[in-house]
Structure 1
Amino acid sequence: MNLLSLNIRGIGGSNKSSWVKKMISEHGVSFLSLQESKSSSVSRYDIAKLWGNNDFGLDFVESVGQSGGLICVWDEKLFRQTGGSRNMNYLYIRGSLVGCSSPVNVLNVYAPQGVSAKKILWEELKLVIDSFEGLCVISGDFNAVRFREEKRNCSFKQNCDNNFNDFIFDSGLIEYNMRGRVFTFYSDNRNKLSKLDRFLVNSEFFNSWPTTCCRVLPRLWSDHNPIFLVCQSKNFGPRPFRNFNSWFGKNVFDEVVTKAVSEFNSVEISPDLVFIKKLSFIRDRLREWKEIMTGKEGEEVATAKEDNEKLEEILESRDFSEEEHWIFDENKKIIHEAEEALTMDLRQRSRIRWAKDGDETLSFFTL
């Protein structure tokens, strides 16, 4: 679920529509929150021009004259609305997300300018958030900063900052760190900069997507930057399977690989997918062989050590027979080969670890 939030300052104009549509398609947006739409009526035809198709859900709050207005748009294949509520300063959407067992609550906020009006809004939002079950994500233009560093060339009101931070703390919300920009609002003359837009989530949302990334995208047709929350889990596939050099000296190793290659069959059409699945198939066969091979070799080494200990006890009382001498030498050979393979594996592991972590001498050779 990827969320895009933007104070758009009106939804009219072909250039602005094309810009939003491009962001949606390029970044794979599945949920869109717009603030200050300045529209008293929102039609599906208007939103289709932004979204790019008709497969979307829609809810909105009408503007008051030429001020305010909130819009939420989402991909109906991923998110289904089951409830919510509307307010002049926020739009609440409750629904279910494909692949997620918990309800998802989305709040689109456009806070007023006055300090006292914002405080009233924070108190109301806290009551709404306390009633939530499941995951919660809040985005929008909060018209407030949390710290003095989030403003430049602007007046800083400590009581407004305290009220906003108290709301975040009392509601149990967490803010993702932003990447790409420090500020999200630039005045027309570029003298005043503020971080007014942000994403806030509850702990259940954060624990569900701990690797979520929040980015500030370039602005074009607004004095606010779009903020983008990427909630997709980063799945880079199975962990790499290490192939040890000591295996190549074993005759059965070649047979296992050759047999796996000949037995592999795939219905995939794409060559890269066929290649990935083929490597995965070979890896699984090698893993099975490794477990069996390690077990057998461990038993052989243990038996060889036990037999040689008994033969050494015999040697204290008499000389070896020819057969006993051959058995002792063969056991020593088994033990030596196992220790040599283990040494090779440890040496390979240490080289990989040194390349990754370095040691106390590495800093001498690097700048």
Structure 2
Amino acid sequence: MVQEVSQIVLNKIWKHYAFDSIQVEASGRSGGLLSIWRTDVFSLIMSWKRRHWIATVLRKKVVWSQLSNIARKWPGPICLLGDFNSVCFPKERVRETIDHNSINTFNDFIINASLVDQPLFNDEFTWEGPNGKFSRIDRVLVNAIWANFWHGAILQSGPSDRPDHKPIIWGNKCDWGPKPFRFNNLWLAKHAFLAFCEDKWEGYDVVGWAAFTLSKKLRLLKNDIRVWNFSHKDQDELQLKLCDNEIKSLKTCFQSRDLSDVELASLAELKSIKKRLSIRIESKRRLHSRFLWLKLGDKNSRFFHMVSRIRLQSSYISGLNINDSWVDDPGEVKEHAICFF
């Protein structure tokens, strides 16, 4: 009775393919199981076996091979980004099963495709799961041409309201100077604001002709309104930011150790406070979207954000066409605008 299938016998079964296998030895006249798969098509994630059964979890490797072939043939810039569901190092998974075969396969794909993994600057993980699981499965892979074209770009993760994937932001930081002053209609609902403006306006001592006096007073009032708004605006945004920082601090500790009962209770309370603050702040999204026909309390944050983003994209000036040449450097754009006017 053959209790274990030797490698020689396995080579005769699949002599034309590279393969791997898991088997359960026979016990007397019963038992004996064999699971075999092609390593050029599948990679083993994990496996379990007992006397009467074998369970294997396999991942297809074809997708990495196809992407690698496309990357090698494409002569231009390449950028692959999103949820790869794979990591490059074991430390990029916390409280999860570490699959070294999957890690090696993913790293081989990056090397074979001549891609570079962009480092994440402001965080260690991009995904948070239940029971304190963390991993960095969202990444940006680029080739040398793309990296040279977007020289200086950095990868950061954005905030996330719930345990799931964090948004990743990859790009250059351009300093376009101070933001323009914008009047907020919510200020008019506060009686103290009108009294503040009247007192400030009467207190300005400006001498000159009428147009100059009006321009100077408006400029002074604008600066005073900014100071007033900063000191009198609702504290919800500030409290929400502080709450986010405390939650992030506890989650950072959770990545390296288990939290105590007191810390877990504090984390639950902070999440409850954050939810209440988010509901109050949500009413302001309606004003930013400028869809005033919607009733206050309509909960459709995704719609409000979408409309605000569309308005921002339609009015955003990323550069200028100067002398039949596109210029997107902030310094050059500012200089040309000043010379033009």
Class of the TM-score when normalised by the shorter of the 2 chains: 0.3 to 0.5
TM-score (norm 1): 0.32
TM-score (norm 2): 0.34
Higher relative CO (Cα under 8 Å, sequence separation at least 6) belongs to 1
